[in-house]
Amino acid sequence: MTDTMTDILLLTIGSFGILIALTFLGEVLRAREDPGFNNPVLDTYMTRVQSWWGMVAFVGFALLMGRIGVMVLFAFASFAALREFLTLTTKAQADHLSLALGFFAVLPLQYVFVGLGWDGLYSIFIPVYAFLLLPIVSALRGNPDRFLMRVAETQWALMIAVFCVSHVPALMNLDISGYGDRSLLLVAFLVMVVQFGDLLEYFFGRRVGRTQIAPGLSPKTWEGVLCGVGSAMLVGALLNWITPFGVFGAMAMAGTASLVGMFGSLVVASIKRDRGVKDWSHLIPGQGGFVDQLDSVIFAAPIFYHLTKYFYT
Amino acid sequence: MSANPSDHRHNCPAPFPGGGAFCFSIVPPFAKVGSMKFLRQFAARIVGQSIRIFARAITAVRADWKGIEPVPRQRVYFANHTSNADMPMIWSVLPPSMRRTVRPVAAADYWLKNKIRAFVGPEVFNCVLVDRRPEVKDKPMDKIIAALDEGSSLIIFPEGNRNMTDDPLLPFKAGLYNMGVARPEVDLVPTWVANLTEIMPKGEIIPLPLICTVTFGEPIHVRDDESKDDFLKRASDALLAQRPEVRT
């Protein structure tokens, strides 16, 4: 077994350890309640913990499968996210072909390019080629009604659900000197610091949150975000042994990713609020859809990718 | 999805012929006629599961139980009709115990057109097939009432035909009212199937894998002294109210 595999196993087992503790905590709290009484907060918490079990199992398994496993997992995540996004966007029958191309051509091709490691192409494929070509396909059908809205929203969906998500597995392509094949671990690092940051932001926001960042949009508070980013930096420092960043570098990268992610989920909340939905879908019990769960990772991924590329390769 | 096989045995005898999904106890597998029936039922069950899995994979179809609980109770689900996939979508989101007692009301001329349809319609979906030609003696409403009296729930499309217009609903036919008057205790549940027109618009070949939502609203009943037109108007409004917010 290689060092990378050992480290992934360690991380997975560590995450399972945390989940066992969280599940135990929930069961203790539940045992202390009156049998007839249902506490909605506790129920939500327990459903979420159960979903996390599933997620840790999936991500852990994908990482152990190596490159192919991670590629397949995130390609499916992209597909689920794109479906959630495009269900809510403005569209007309004239867009049918360009939407079908988005699902069945752009998405798979982007992952093929990431898989082949053609970073020159996967960095521009959606922002340049899809951006210019898909509106042409829509225009050929000759329906100008709300045209700009339709093509802009479709492009947004592809950028968020395909381009950004694909930058998580793209981390495996980064050639960092002295780091070897361990770039797989960057995927684990990014997902863990961002998700832990979110979790603790939620926790601290409920405890000490006072000043709302965007009232009427999201319950997020400056205090919560500060504590969340601080916690993400701490987790980053603890995990620095799997990164090429060093302790302080790992803290800075974790803090940046977490901060971008948190503001990213504000953007996603605005879209949801505009479309009058609470969740993107009901795919993950207790969490809503893929986009609800991954919003901060989605926003953090391209920035984390490019910062790593700029400073460490 | 369904629980262990012993569940099915508890459901026998089925409330109507062939309704129990999988009745080992009443089908002697080695009798000659019995084994044929057993095989057909087995095939029907496999096909039914495949349709469910296919519907879930393509459209991630989900149920929104807004006005009712997903419990086995006799109901008539009345739904909007824009595509041939409407009925399989509603059927797919019902939990197994409800799916076993629900019977879609469908046109005989469509489902008996060829051998495959004649298998899928009556045996997989367990349709109540009605013949809408006026010269036929076997009146649709008699078959529908008979199915209700057997304890089945029904899925019906009160617009009568597929809605090919830009209006959200066509005017309802009288059938829903007649059912409500004949069997007033049965809950009439407005059921909106959303997004199917975008998933597969007329004339397109490739379906888009968007999310299809089936929304179940609060049940309605025919009120005392309510006229047919008033009731049908109220039923139509109740169905429109289940429509998720549309952006224009």
**pLDDT score of B12 more than 60:** no
Residues 157-196, chain B, touching A (beta carbon < 8 A):
195
Over residues A123-133, the mean pLDDT reads: 96
Domain ranges of chain B: 60-240
Q: Which residues, in sequence order, are bridge partners of residue B193?
A: B214
Last residue of a domain, one of A149, A173, A197: A173
Look up residue A228 and give its two tokens: 């969340």
**In this predicted structure, what is the pLDDT of residue A132?**
96
Mean pLDDT of A37-54: 78
In terms of domains, do A194 and A267 share one? Answer: yes
CA distance A86 to chain B (A): 7
For domain B60-240, the CATH superfamily is Glycerol-3-phosphate (1)-acyltransferase (3.40.1130.10)
Q: Tell me the two tokens of residue A69.
A: 């496993």
Residue B158: CB atoms within 10 Å: 26
Q: Beta B187-194 vs B128-130: how paired, if at all? A: unpaired
β-sheet with B153-156: strand ranges across: B62-65, B213-216, B187-194, B75-79, B153-156, B102-107, B128-130
CA distance to A8, A67, A112, B1, per residue, from A72 (Å): 18, 9, 10, 25
Query: Which residues does chain A have within 8 Å of residue B201's beta carbon, measured at their own beta carbons?
Result: 93, 96
Query: To the nearest whole angstrom, how far is the Cα of B246 from the nearest Cα of chain A?
Result: 9
Top-ranked range on mean pLDDT: pick from A12-16, A50-54, A256-260: A256-260
Confidence bin at A164 (pLDDT 50/70/90) = very high
Give the pLDDT score at A287.
67
Residues A290 and A194 in one domain: yes
Least confident stretch, A144-148, B60-64, B92-96, B214-218 = B60-64
Predicted local distance difference test score (pLDDT) of residue B103: 94
d(CA A296, CA A301): 9
Average pLDDT over residues B16-35: 48
Does the distance separating the beta carbons of A83 and B62 come in below 8 Å?
A: no
Confidence of residue A291 (pLDDT cuts 50, 70, 90): confident
Same domain? For A223 and A297 the reply is: yes
CA distance B2 to chain A (A): 19
- Mean pLDDT, rounded, of chain B: 82
Q: What is the maximal distance between C-alpha atoms in chain A? A: 64
Cβ separation A103–B209 shorter than 8 A = yes
**Cα A74 to Cα A65: distance, rounded to the nearest angstrom:** 13
Select from A14, A40, A65 the last residue of a domain: A65
Which residue carries 């509106």 as its tokens? A135
What single letter denotes the amino acid at residue A100? A
A283 part of contact set with chain B, CB < 8 Å: yes
Across the interface, do A96 and B245 touch by the CB < 8 Å criterion?
no
A116 in the same domain as A143: yes
Q: How far apart are CA B128 and CA B102, in angstroms?
A: 10
Contact B213, B195 (CB under 8 A): yes
A93–B245: do the CB atoms touch at under 8 Å?
Answer: no
CA atoms within 13 A on the CB side of B95: 9
> Residue B155 has what DSSP assignment?
E
Tell if the CB–CB gap between B211 and A276 is shorter than 8 Å: no
Q: Is pLDDT of A37 > 90? A: no
Q: Which residues of B touch A285 (CB under 8 A)?
A: none
Pairing label, strands B213-216, B187-194: antiparallel
Position A27, amino acid: E
Q: Which of B62, B204, B247 sits opposite A96 (nearest CB)?
A: B204
Minimum CA–CA partner of B204 in chain A: A96
Whether omega for the bond prior to residue A40 falls within 30 degrees of 0, making it cis, is no
Residues B158, B192: Cα–Cα separation, whole Å: 12
User: Is 50 exceeded by the pLDDT of residue B171?
Assistant: yes
- Is residue A135 pLDDT above 90, yes or no? yes
Question: Residue B28: is its pLDDT beyond 50?
Answer: no
Helices (H), B121-226: 140-149, 175-182, 196-199
Shared domain for A202 and A97, answered yes or no, is no
Interfacial A residues in 53-82 facing B (CB < 8 Å): 79-80
Please give the residue that has the higher pLDDT: either A209 or B230.
B230
Residue A183 and residue A124 share a domain: no
pLDDT of residue B15: 39
pLDDT at A285: 65
pLDDT for A280 beyond 90 = no
DSSP B130: E
Contact B195 A87 (CB under 8 A): yes
Q: Give the minimum alpha-carbon distance from B65 to chain A in angstroms, rounded to a whole number.
A: 13
User: What is the model's pLDDT at position B24?
Assistant: 43
Place of tokens 């959630």: A84
ipTM of the complex: 0.80
Give B63's contacts in chain A (Cβ within 8 Å).
none
Confidence class for position A286, pLDDT limits 50, 70, 90: low
State the Cα–Cα distance between residues B191 and B240, nearest whole angstrom.
9
pLDDT of residue A74: 95
Mean pLDDT of chain A: 89
Task: Indicate the pairing of strand B75-79 with strand B128-130.
Answer: unpaired
SS3 labels along chain A: CCHHHHHHHHHHHHHHHHHHHHHHHHHHHHHCCCCCCCCHHHHHHHHHHHHHHHHHHHHHHHHHHCHHHHHHHHHHHHHHHHHHHHHHCCCCHHHHHHHHHHHHHHHHHHHHHHHHCCHHHHCCHHHHHHHHHHHHHHHCCCCCCCHHHHHHHHHHHHHHHHHHHHCCHHHHHCCCCCCHHHHHHHHHHHHHHHHHHHHHHHHHHHHHCCCECCCCCCCCEHHHHHHHHHHHHHHHHHCHHHCCCHHHHHHHHHHHHHHHHHHHHHHHHHHHHHHCCCCCCCCECCCECHHHHHHHHHHHHHHHHHHHHHHHC
Q: Report the domain count for chain A.
A: 3
Q: What is the pLDDT of residues A233-274, one digit of tens each?
A: 999 999 999 999 999 999 999 999 999 999 999 999 898 888
Residues A139 and A231 reside in one and the same domain? no
Beta-carbon contacts of residue A44 (< 8 Å; ≥ 6 apart): A286
The predicted model gives A182-206 an average pLDDT of 89
Which pLDDT value is given to residue B31? Answer: 53
- Pairwise CA distance, residues A313 & B12, whole Å: 68
Among residues of chain A, what percentage have pLDDT more than 90? 55
Question: From CA A167, how far away is CA A74, in angstroms rounded?
Answer: 9
Q: What mean pLDDT is predicted for residues B149-177?
A: 90
Using the beta-carbon criterion (under 8 Å), do B208 and A79 form an inter-chain contact? Answer: no
Q: Which two tokens stand for residue A23?
A: 């599940």
- Measured in angstroms, the CA of B228 and the nearest CA of chain A are apart by 35
Task: Determine the pLDDT at residue B32.
Answer: 58
Cross-chain residue pair B208–A282, CB shorter than 8 Å: no
What's the average model confidence in pLDDT over B205-233?
A: 91
Tally Cβ neighbours within 10 Å of residue A74.
25
Tell whether A275 lies on the interface with B, counting CB pairs under 8 A.
yes
pLDDT at B247: 52
10 Å Cβ neighbour count for A61? 13
3-class SS of residue A195: helix
Minimum distance, in Å, between the CA of residue A281 and any CA atom of chain B: 8
> Is the CB of B210 less than 8 angstroms away from the CB of A100?
no
- Statement: residue B2 has pLDDT above 50: no
| SS3 call for B92 | helix
- The structure tokens listed for B89 are 């979508």
Per mean pLDDT, which range of A268-272, B189-193, B232-236 is the poorest? A268-272
Q: What is the pLDDT of residues B110-149, one digit of tens each?
A: 888 888 888 988 889 999 998 877 777 778 888 899 999 9
When computed from its CA atoms, the radius of gyration of chain A, rounded to whole angstroms, is 20
* Statement to judge: residues A21 and A89 lie in one domain: no
Q: Is A181 found in the same domain as A313?
A: yes
Total-model pTM: 0.82
Of A90, A93, A275, Cβ closest to residue B201: A93
Contacts of A80 in chain B (CB under 8 A): 60
Place of tokens 């899928």: B120
Residues of A in contact with B60 (CB under 8 A): 80, 83, 281, 283
Lowest mean pLDDT among A4-13, A34-43, A180-189, B224-233: A34-43
Cβ contact, residue pair B247, A275, below 8 Å: yes
Whole-angstrom distance, CA of residue B231 vs CA of residue B171: 12
DSSP 8-state symbol, B220:
B
Looking at the complex, does the CB of residue B246 fall below 8 Å from at least one CB of chain A?
A: no
Substitution target from B59, B196, B208, B212 for chain A, most A beta carbons within 10 A: B208
Looking at the fold, whether A308 and A185 belong to one and the same domain comes out as yes
- Where does the pLDDT of residue A69 fall: very low under 50, low under 70, confident under 90, or very high at 90 and above? very high
Domain limit, last residue, from A109, A142, A173: A173
Is it the case that residue A86 has pLDDT exceeding 90? Answer: yes
Q: Which amino acid is at A98?
A: S
Residue ranges making up the domain that contains A28:
1-65
pLDDT tier at A297, thresholds 50, 70, 90: very high
Which B residues in the span 42-101 are in contact with A, Cβ-Cβ below 8 Å? 60, 62
Distance from CA of B194 to the nearest CA of A (A): 10
Q: Which residues of A touch B211 (CB under 8 A)?
A: 83-84, 87, 281
CA-CA distance, B84 to A18, in Å (whole number)? 48
Predicted pLDDT of residue A284: 67
Whether residues A270 and A282 share a domain: the answer is yes
The answer to whether the CB atoms of A87 and B211 lie below 8 A apart is yes
Q: Are A271 and A151 found together in one domain?
A: no
Residue B10's pLDDT band, with cuts at 50, 70 and 90, is very low
- Span of A17-31, A39-53, A58-72, B93-107 with lowest mean pLDDT: A39-53
Give the one of B62, B201, B210 whose C-beta lies nearest to A282's C-beta: B62
